[in-house]
């Protein structure tokens, strides 16, 4: 039976998280973990629908996003607390083990789940993220690069992130968010302004306001390295390589596959740090092959 069910779960004292389930209730569960400041509806509907044809797909709003509790200033938390929310969502929905897919910050939270709660996972997919490991990257020629010396975030993205977000009304906020997606999407695929504007308009309608939270950027990022645990990982792990990625550009995906046991790599042509329509079908195909939902 297909389901489209929304419910709130209590993840931690003072924090309730909005969740949504789509797809057959008896299908293998697949949990989508969004990036920083991104609520569940940041996962595009066509991609979610493709996955929900084979999975019980769950997406949720992080703390300080969407319809979940916004309370960082009163109750500050660590990024590792957001990783505990991943398990809290599974617990709250009565799910023992799930496939997980993490994008950007969500990819870091997925790695923390791999390291700390492997018994709760069926598989993991990491998109647009970096390894929580000090293992050096070994080039094809055999030379090594320290993890700390891998390429950083593009100057254009850093410059935009450094600008204060000012309130000039909802349409100006949509303009700002679309400009942000234009930078994140990278230069290899045509940029669809209307698509990303509609995506963000839907997020604002879901949230009920157009305020952008800065909580995840201000949260304590310490205590996230899991070098030994990730090297010993036995959970099937897929790393998506995005050649136009401006936040964690190549060879970050290749470094992930070296740092995480059992990891393998699939490249999505033209992809950057965004999920435009052109990547939905190839990304869904790679995810479903990895989860075993399709041959």
Q: Answer whether residue 192 shows pLDDT above 60.
A: yes
**Tokens linked to 88:** 């809290």
**Cβ distance 135 to 147 under 8 Å?**
yes
**Cβ distance 109 to 83 under 8 Å?**
yes
- Residue 91 burial class via C-beta count within 10 angstroms: exposed 0-12, middle 13-18, buried 19 and up: middle
Q: CATH number of the domain at 2-151+214-291, please? A: 3.40.50.1820
Q: Say what the pLDDT of residue 241 is.
A: 98
Alpha helices in 234-276 (DSSP H): 252-259
Alpha helices in the chain (DSSP H): 45-52, 79-92, 105-116, 155-162, 170-185, 193-207, 215-218, 227-231, 252-259, 277-291
Q: Categorize the per-residue pLDDT at 244 as very low, low, confident or very high, splitting at 50, 70 and 90.
A: very high
Q: Answer whether residue 295 shows pLDDT above 50.
A: no
Q: Say what the pLDDT of residue 4 is.
A: 85
What average pLDDT does this structure show over 244-255? 98
**Domain definitions of the chain by residue range:** 2-151+214-291
What average pLDDT does this structure show over 85-107? 98
What average pLDDT does this structure show over 210-220? 94
What average pLDDT does this structure show over 177-204? 98
Q: Answer whether residue 191 shows pLDDT above 70.
A: yes
**Cβ distance 123 to 99 under 8 Å?**
yes
Strand partners, 228: none
What average pLDDT does this structure show over 131-140? 97
Q: In terms of DSSP bridges, do strands 15-24 and 137-138 run parallel, antiparallel, or are they unpaired?
A: unpaired
User: pTM of whole model > 0.95?
Assistant: yes
Q: Categorize the per-residue pLDDT at 2 as very low, low, confident or very high, splitting at 50, 70 and 90.
A: low
Compute the Cα dihedral for 70, 121, 47, 49 and give only its sign: negative
Q: What whole-number percentage of the chain has pLDDT above 70?
A: 98
Which of 51, 13, 6, 7 lies closest to 31 in space, CA to CA? 51
Q: Say what the pLDDT of residue 85 is.
A: 98
What average pLDDT does this structure show over 247-258? 98
Q: What whole-number percentage of the chain has pLDDT above 90?
A: 96
Q: Categorize the per-residue pLDDT at 294 as very low, low, confident or very high, splitting at 50, 70 and 90.
A: low
pLDDT in tens, 44-70: 999 999 999 999 999 999 999 999 999
């Amino acid at each position: 039976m297909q389901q489209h069910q929304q419910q709130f779960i209590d993840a931690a004292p003072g924090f309730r998280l909005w969740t949504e389930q789509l797809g057959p209730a008896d299908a293998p569960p697949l949990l989508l973990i969004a990036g920083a400041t991104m609520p569940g509806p940041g996962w595009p509907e066509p991609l979610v629908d493709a996955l929900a044809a084979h999975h019980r797909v769950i997406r949720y709003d992080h703390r300080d996003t969407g319809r979940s509790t916004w309370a960082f200033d009163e109750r500050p938390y660590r990024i590792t607390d957001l990783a505990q929310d991943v398990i809290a969502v599974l617990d709250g929905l009565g799910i023992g083990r799930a496939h997980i897919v993490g994008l950007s910050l969500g990819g870091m939270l997925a790695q923390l789940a791999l390291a700390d709660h492997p018994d709760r996972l069926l598989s993991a997919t990491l998109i647009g993220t970096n390894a929580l490991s000090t293992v050096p990257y070994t080039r094809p020629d055999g030379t090594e690069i320290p993890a700390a010396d891998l390429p950083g975030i593009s100057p254009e993205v850093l410059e935009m992130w450094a600008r204060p977000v000012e309130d000039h009304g909802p349409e100006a906020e949509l303009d700002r968010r679309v400009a942000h997606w234009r930078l994140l999407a990278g230069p290899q695929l045509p940029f669809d302004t209307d698509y990303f504007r509609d995506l963000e308009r839907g997020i604002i309608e879901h949230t009920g306001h157009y305020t952008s939270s800065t909580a995840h950027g201000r949260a304590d990022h310490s205590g996230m390295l899991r070098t030994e645990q990730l090297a010993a990982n036995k959970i099937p792990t897929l790393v998506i390589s995005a050649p136009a990625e401006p936040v964690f550009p190549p060879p970050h995906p290749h470094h992930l596959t070296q740092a995480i046991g059992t990891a393998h790599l699939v490249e999505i042509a033209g992809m950057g740090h965004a999920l435009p329509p052109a990547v939905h079908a190839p990304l869904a195909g790679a995810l479903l092959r990895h989860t075993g939902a399709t041959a």
